[in-house]
């Protein structure tokens, strides 16, 4: 499922893939993305991505409310911190 998410005057793109045992979820904004626990922060850092990770979410809406548990080095550079909500994080990614 693909979903548009309005954040102020901007629009992010949420993708929710229903897999056999859990959902793989990513929300993509202009500068970076929020990922679920399926994906790897080490890879995001190696690629130089602005990325944040949340865990225990089942859909895009839950990511917006969830607290960020891990951030990439590039995300730290633009002010993204652990403990921010997904929505607060996305606001910094535009």
Q: C-alpha angle 62/68/73, rounded to 5°?
A: 140
Whose tokens are 């960020």? That residue is: 68
CATH, residue 37: 3.30.1980.10
Q: What is the pLDDT of residues 8-32, one digit of tens each?
A: 999 999 999 999 999 999 999 999 9
Domain range for 52 is: 2-92
Query: Whole-model pTM?
Result: 0.95
Q: Count the alpha carbons within 13 Å of 94 in the hemisphere toward its beta carbon.
A: 14
* Distance from chain centroid for Cα 69: 11
How many domains is the chain partitioned into structurally?
1
pLDDT at 58: 94
User: In this structure, are residues 74 and 92 in contact, taking their beta carbons and an 8 Å threshold?
Assistant: no
């Amino acid at each position: 499922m693909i979903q548009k998410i309005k954040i102020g005057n901007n629009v992010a793109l949420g993708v929710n893939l229903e897999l056999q045992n859990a959902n793989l979820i990513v929300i993509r904004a202009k500068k970076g993305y929020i990922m679920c626990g399926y994906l790897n922060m080490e890879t995001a850092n190696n690629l130089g991505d602005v990325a944040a990770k949340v865990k225990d979410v089942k859909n895009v809406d839950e990511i917006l409310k969830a607290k960020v548990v891990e951030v990439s080095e590039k995300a730290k550079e633009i002010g993204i911190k652990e403990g921010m909500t997904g929505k607060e994080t996305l606001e910094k990614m535009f």
